[in-house]
């Protein structure tokens, strides 16, 4: 007998990751406030139902570059970091305002890879998350892009927020990770180029063959994570004891459908490994 989606109804500590492309209007690159408001309302309602919720939100660089009038994703490291510094503050201001309308506290948590690699820093981060959740706040997580580096010193960066969200799920002991993507879930090939690509509803275990199906590219000019990054995130989440679902972020109501047990997205079934160390996949 296969895994029942009904079990997702019982998940209590949930990490949700939303990518830049899901937050922006495609035509203008500006924030889609209607979608963000709907996202916040869904997260608050989940919290009101007794669940603990953590949001991992991309978008800082995209918001910053739009604020500066830059139409393309910058390649220069210093420009990326400047965009992140400007955009992160603006993005959090938007989140804080909308969460406050629903009488909910939003807390900003910025992480670097060194935070996770260092045992003391990782423990401190874990304690911070647990206390925020205990206090009824909803942590909003992003990589600290203004001080992390891209491509030059790989030790400093997670590389994408898919992996970061899985690491957050791991260190806080989440039992479900939801990745809101620009695709419905996992396919046997890129459905944009191969009409015969088949949708995969459930993955019992991520093996080398499955990893080979992942694509390292993204179809959006605002996001960074492709399917390969999501499969690595799945390895981290599943080995840490959390189920993971990849679903389309164009409709944030997919979150509610997933936690209601509906057959939405691709489900990666957890298989907790007590010997697993997240540092091994970083």
Q: Report domain extents, the chain.
A: 5-281
Encode 23-40: b = buried (16+ Cβ within 10 Å), e = exposed: bbeeeebebeeebbbbbb
Retrieve residue 222's tokens: 């605002």
What local confidence, expressed as pLDDT, does residue 115 receive?
A: 86
In a 3-state reduction of DSSP, which class is residue 193?
coil
What local confidence, expressed as pLDDT, does residue 145 receive?
A: 60
What local confidence, expressed as pLDDT, does residue 218 receive?
A: 46
| Cβ atoms of residues 161 and 145 within 8 Å | no
What local confidence, expressed as pLDDT, does residue 153 receive?
A: 45
Angle, helix 119-134 to helix 161-172, in steps of 10 degrees: 80
Exposed/middle/buried for residue 196 (C-beta within 10 Å: 0-12, 13-18, 19+): exposed
| Cβ atoms of residues 25 and 221 within 8 Å | no
In a 3-state reduction of DSSP, which class is residue 244?
strand
What local confidence, expressed as pLDDT, does residue 228 receive?
A: 84
Query: How many Å apart are CA 191 and CA 181, to the nearest integer?
Result: 14
How many residues does this entry show for the chain? Answer: 282
What local confidence, expressed as pLDDT, does residue 31 receive?
A: 95
Q: Which residues have CB under 8 Å from 246's CB, separation 6+?
A: 179, 181, 183, 185, 186, 230, 234, 265, 266, 268
Element (H, E) at 261: none
If one counts every other C-beta atom within 10 angstroms of the C-beta of residue 155, the result is 11
What local confidence, expressed as pLDDT, does residue 147 receive?
A: 63
| Cβ atoms of residues 139 and 55 within 8 Å | yes
CATH: 3.40.1160.10, 3.40.50.2000, 3.40.50.2300, 3.60.60.10. Which one for 5-281?
3.40.1160.10
> CA torsion sign, 231 to 226 to 146 to 107?
negative
Ranges of the chain whose pLDDT falls below 70 = 1-2, 145-159, 213-225, 278-282
Query: How many Å apart are CA 105 and CA 137, to the nearest integer?
Result: 5
Cα torsion at 108, 64, 216, 210 (round to 10°)? 30
């Amino acid at each position: 007998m296969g895994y029942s989606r009904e079990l997702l109804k019982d998940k209590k500590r949930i990490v949700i990751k939303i990518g830049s492309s899901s937050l922006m209007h495609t035509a203008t690159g500006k924030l889609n406030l209607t979608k963000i408001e709907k996202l916040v309302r869904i997260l608050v309602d989940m919290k009101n139902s007794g669940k603990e919720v953590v949001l991992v939100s991309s978008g800082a660089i995209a918001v910053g570059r739009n604020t500066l009038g830059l139409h393309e994703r910058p390649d220069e490291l210093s420009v990326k970091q400047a965009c992140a510094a400007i955009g992160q503050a603006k993005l959090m201001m938007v989140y804080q305002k909308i969460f406050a309308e629903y009488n909910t506290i939003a807390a900003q948590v910025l992480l670097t890879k060194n935070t996770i690699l260092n045992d003391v820093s990782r423990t401190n981060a874990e304690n911070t998350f647990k206390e925020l959740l205990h206090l009824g706040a909803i942590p909003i997580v992003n990589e600290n892009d203004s001080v992390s580096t891209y491509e030059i010193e790989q030790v400093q960066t997670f590389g994408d927020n898919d992996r970061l969200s899985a690491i957050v799920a791991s260190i806080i002991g989440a039992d479900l990770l939801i990745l809101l993507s620009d695709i419905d879930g996992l396919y046997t090939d890129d459905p944009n180029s191969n009409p015969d690509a088949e949708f995969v509803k459930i993955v019992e275990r991520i093996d080398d063959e499955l990893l080979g199906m992942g694509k390292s590219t993204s179809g959006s000019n605002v996001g960074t994570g492709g399917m390969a990054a999501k499969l690595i995130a799945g390895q981290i989440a599943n080995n840490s004891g959390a189920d993971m679902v990849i679903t389309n972020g164009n409709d944030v109501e997919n979150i509610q459908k997933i936690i209601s047990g509906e057959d939405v997205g691709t489900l990666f079934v957890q298989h907790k490994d007590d010997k697993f160390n997240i540092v091994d996949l970083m």
